[in-house]
């Protein structure tokens, strides 16, 4: 299923975005864009996703 994201923001190498899951619930995603990192997580609140983005320490560097 193709997910459409909105309200994109970047915190260092991590992108935070808002979208809807398969059941139509609003979810917030934080994903690191650094090569070979692989960090991504989905949260119920935007503040939780932004906190994860600010505290993420990329192991790929």
Phi-psi region at 47: left, alpha or beta (left = phi > 0; alpha = psi -120 to 50): alpha
pLDDT at residue 61 in the model: 59
In angstroms and rounded to an integer, the radius of gyration of the C-alpha atoms of the chain is 11
Alpha helices by DSSP H, the chain = 46-55
Q: What is the residue-level pLDDT of the chain in tens, covering all 61 positions? A: 557 888 889 999 999 999 998 898 999 999 999 999 999 999 999 999 999 999 999 876 5
**pLDDT at position 10:** 92
């Amino acid at each position: 299923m193709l997910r459409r994201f909105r309200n994109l923001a970047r915190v260092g190498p991590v992108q935070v975005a808002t979208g809807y899951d398969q059941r139509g619930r609003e979810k917030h995603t934080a994903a690191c864009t650094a090569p070979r990192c692989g960090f991504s997580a989905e949260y119920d609140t935007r503040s939780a996703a932004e906190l994860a983005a600010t505290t993420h320490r990329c192991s790929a560097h």
